[in-house]
Chain A
Amino acid sequence: MIFLPMNIAFFSIFLLLLAAALAFLFNRNQKFLIGVCFSMTTIASLLMVAAGGWAVGKGITNQVILPMGLPDLLFHLRLDPLSGFFLTVIGLLSFFVSIYSLGYVKGFLGHRSVTSLIIFYCLFLAGMFMVVLADDALFFLISWEVMAAASYFLVMFEDEKIENRRAAFLYIIVAHVGAIAILLSFGVMAGLATGFQGFSGYTFDAMRATNFPLGWATAAFLLAFFGFAAKAGVIPLHVWLPEAHPVAPSNVSALMSGVMLKTAIYGIVRVTFDLIGVFPWWWGAIVLIFGLVSAVMGVLYALMQHDLKRLLAYHSVENIGIILIGIGLAMIFTSYQMPLLAALALTAGLFHTMNHAMFKGLLFMGAGAVLHATRERNMEEMGGLIHKMPWTAAFFLIGCISISALPPFNGFVSEWLTFQAFLLSPSLPSPLLNLLIPMGAALLALTGALAAACFVKAFGVTFLGHWRGPHKPDVHEAGWTMRIGMMLSALTCLALGVLPTVFIDWMDVLSEQLVGAKIATSATGIGWMWLTPIAHERAAYSGPIVFAGIMAIVVIAYILLHARPAAIKRVPIWDCGFEKITQRMQYNATSFSMPIRRIFGFLFSIKEQVRLVSQYGHRAFPKKLHYHLRIRDLFWGWLYKPVVDASFWISRKVGRLQQGKIHVYLIYSFVTIIVLLVFLR
């Protein structure tokens, strides 16, 4: 049996490595390289989608052992529905992004060599795929770090900019610390699996087979959660994310934000549901709480940004939070043996994983197109791009609607499912949870609404109105490959939103394997058009009808109103009859978010100062008004600065040891020997 999902996956990874090798060998002809290598990655990603989709759809599980690694601990690979699902997610987005890159990367030609970009791009993809395929601790960590290192170099791509270096450094530090934590958690589990004798315990199978004592299991879980949270950008471990994602090339930020974070989600699901399996409810509570905090804080910080890509990066924090909410709920339900509800929550979480990959990738690609056209990341300068780049604007708008969880697009469906999961929490036997979990639902609602506000701002300020900056660049629409990339993901967003039932039907095997219940049977209870998570009396949503209905009415209304020739007079802006309106008078990003800044001000560290140059020596007649606003992440001051300062303090103290005089060194050895003789003999 040669033709297995696993073999397809192998071939795809092989293609990626081959592409990297090609880029390494023929780095003379850059144009050619871009064409060939990115086409290869496109094919490879598509193959991965095929492999993953197949494995999930048919519920296949392949296991392979490669003759590599330590002889006692060879590389174990396993392609089961869970990994298949994530393969599909990653593959799908990387497919779109690879097409997009065909055009986008050409933008660097002339400025710099793109060889390293291509090489690390391929390695990055390969790393992500391998992470999902890994079935033993060692190989998992190796792929994990390959992924991290590759993305580190990608962030570093434009390394002459200081901000890139700073961001890359921060990123690699956090990533590595997280990796160490994950390593430890695996160490704990492997140890318990075999009593620390020999290497057999490091395979995931061995971990699955063991049932862990609660204390150790908790240690393992907390370590793993810390590690994966660091990668996923869960608050308060998120600070690297808004630094690293904006400065990377946009196709890379699309991948990092869209799918790299998802590998962390994969890790959490894998460790909790698959490897450990049995856990108390408060694990879920922990995940839920961190999810909620990340969701709300993430969107609030996003609202304060005026750098387009930074804004999107903070939204990744938010969406990761939403995903974690679903997973946390699933864990709680599981711990109370409510498989059906757990399945619902888990499906919601994983569905949102898929959706976020799609629309966040789309948005970053759009931002990339804007950046590509305007050489500008600061929204305060932008405006009116919709006229120059209509396609990009349309796709970006679709992304905005989807991420704001508005029907009929995909973001809404997954959040709606999450709400349903929340609404089912009263059936939990614990009164405390009954009282507290609804609060979570409210917070989620707040998040959704704020996200909508944020993307009205993002789209409105970027694409609508007039150009705000002093000198307007000659903007041009993105190239056709870039447009195709965006269009495909936009269509995916729509499809997932309109036909969720099909998708849920496909991925149902996951929840069956992980929590032991399917929801598809009930989810499509009254036909494929209606999504009815538990029962149609309970709640129902029909994507097709909403979409078709609205469109139909719009069309009818349009036709009716244009029955008689309807003239449209184009005139200057009215604006209540105000004459001297300039583009500087428009609302910009900062002013748009001002009310929310006022209301939630206590959550940021805001420095706001107004300098007023008055006329006729009286404040009442201002000539000039300078407004300066600086908003920083609270967690810098709370978490990171103290750590850094402390370590430097210690190192200064430690430096005293090495203070030059040989006598002192002799005294060290003298004292050492004496002390040892006295105490440790």
Chain B
Amino acid sequence: MILYPFIIEVFQILLVLAVAPAFAGWVKALKCWSQGRTSPGLFQPYRDIIKLFSKDVVLAENASWIFRFTPYLVFGVSVLAGGIVPMLSVDLPLAATADVIALVALFAIARFFTALAGMDIGTAFGGMGSSREMTIASLAEPAMLMAIFTVSLASKSTSLSQMVQVIYSGQSVLRPSVAFALLAFILIALAETGRIPVDNPATHLELTMIHEAMILEYSGRHLALIEWAGMMKLFLFVMLGIAVFAPWGIAASGDLTAIPAAVLFMILKLAIVGAGLVLIETGLAKMRLFRLTEFLGSAFLLATLGMLSYFILE
């Protein structure tokens, strides 16, 4: 009985590893359909990753250990994060490892190393990518914290499982503050995961790419790890949003019986969120870099409004 939470934990981590590419594929497929193209299918990402793993690594002469270490680190961070965000059950052994803030910081260190890797080779593109990435991140960070702040006001906590439980206990259902926070969170998530309108994951057009510019020199298993970690990051952000704003379906206690239901709920929600993401990405055009200030500024504004409304309205 006491072991169940650990089993769930392991299962969840494996789930993250397994499902993340599928979700990415799902989004791609939806996008293709919405743009009237035939999609490569839900499992294309798996094929890509496997192909990359089987290829040799081609490395620039002056690449230092940082360049080679980064993929592993990024991957490791994503996996660890996968164990922290409550997806299937609230009662996770690793839940107390990091609260929301620490979770954001975990992604931040992955970003930090990616940016370094971008500068390691010494190409113009790499530097450009790192510079822009860090800029956007530093603009997104305050908004992110404001959103967290607002939500934590409602649940008097920043630990995820606690938030979920508070929502379960019905203390905060559809508050205006939470709604604002949700909007803000969506904008931030778009920025953090490098989706349109902030960054275009599909492009290699020099002057628009940000994340791609940093990993331009990667190849083989390194690239595979990074891609995979990227998919997991997207997946985890979605999961984070779900856990904080719409946790219904997540098992409230650590018994195995509730898990299948939780998995079903999760897949359902993923499908919906993916559709929403595609709507946004096809609806909007990529922004110029210096318009992002306004984009993230509005995110900050929304979060702040959420906080104010908490103090004023509730």
Contacts and interface: CB of A to CB of B under 8 A. Distances in A.
A449 B58 contact: no
29 contacts: A387-B64, A407-B106, A426-B153, A431-B311, A438-B304, A442-B145, A449-B134, A453-B138, A456-B112, A465-B120, A465-B122, A540-B96, A540-B97, A540-B99, A541-B97, A542-B96, A545-B97, A551-B76, A553-B76, A553-B80, A566-B221, A571-B58, A573-B61, A573-B121, A573-B122, A575-B217, A581-B124, A592-B131, A599-B139
Given A460-B115, A541-B102, 13 more contacts: A407-B98, A426-B153, A442-B145, A456-B116, A456-B119, A456-B130, A460-B118, A465-B62, A553-B76, A561-B53, A569-B57, A587-B119, A587-B127
B309 to A, nearest CB: 11
A679 to B, nearest CB: 62
B129 to A, nearest CB: 9
A384 B122 contact: yes
Nearest to B73: A554
A510 interface: no
A554 B72 contact: yes
A557 B76 contact: yes
A584 to B, nearest CB: 10
A549 to B, nearest CB: 5
A546 B98 contact: yes
Interface in A537-558: 537-542, 545-546, 549-554, 557-558
A598 B76 CA distance: 35
B142 interface: yes
B51 interface: no
Given A405-B105, A407-B105, A442-B145, A591 B125 contact: no
Interface string B126-163: 11101110110111111111100100110011110010
B138 A542 contact: no
Given A576-B206, A587-B126, A595-B135, A404 B76 contact: no
Nearest to A427: B156
Interface in A620-674: none
B94 A545 contact: yes
A407 B80 CA distance: 13
Interface in B269-314: 289-290, 293, 300, 304, 307-308, 311
Contacts of A452: 108, 111-112, 134, 137-138
Contacts of A532: 96
B57 A586 contact: no
A592 B130 contact: yes
Q: Which of A387, A526, A566 has the most CB of B within 10 A?
A: A566
Interface of A is mostly: helix
A593 to B, nearest CB: 7
A162 interface: no
B293 A536 contact: no
Contacts of A581: 123-124
Contacts of B57: 566-569
B59 A569 contact: yes
B76 A550 contact: yes
B123 A586 contact: yes
A384 B308 CA distance: 49
B7 interface: no
A594 B134 CA distance: 12
B259 interface: no
A445 interface: yes
Nearest to B60: A573
Contacts of A443: 142
Q: Which of B94, B109, B153 has the most CB of A within 10 A?
A: B109
B268 interface: no
B247 to A, nearest CB: 16
A393 B69 CA distance: 14
B10 interface: no
Given A434-B311, A446-B138, A596-B138, A574 B60 contact: yes
B60 A571 contact: yes
A314 interface: no
Contacts of B94: 545, 549
A464 B116 contact: yes
A465 to B, nearest CB: 3
Given A386-B66, A546-B98, A558-B72, A446 B135 contact: no
A530 interface: yes
A18 interface: no
Interface in B218-241: 220-221, 225
Contacts of B60: 570-574
A293 to B, nearest CB: 15
A461 interface: yes
Interface in A572-622: 572-576, 578, 581, 583, 585-588, 591-596, 598-599
Contact of B141 (A426, A431, A446, A587): A446
A401 B109 contact: yes
Nearest to A550: B76
B245 interface: no
A539 B137 contact: no
Interface string A437-455: 0110111111011101100
A249 interface: no
B18 interface: no
Contact of B66 (A420, A461, A464): A464
A459 interface: yes
A546 B80 contact: yes
Nearest to B307: A438
A574 B125 CA distance: 11
Nearest to A553: B76
A305 B156 CA distance: 41
A423 interface: yes
A500 interface: no
Contacts of A537: 157, 159, 162
A408 B159 CA distance: 18
B77 interface: yes
B75 interface: yes
Contacts of B97: 530, 540-542, 545-546, 549
Contacts of B56: 566-569
Contact of A538 (B59, B140, B159, B204): B159
B100 to A, nearest CB: 9
A595 B133 CA distance: 10
Interface string B85-116: 00000000010111101100110110110011
Nearest to A541: B102
B79 interface: yes
B220 to A, nearest CB: 8
Contacts of A542: 96-98
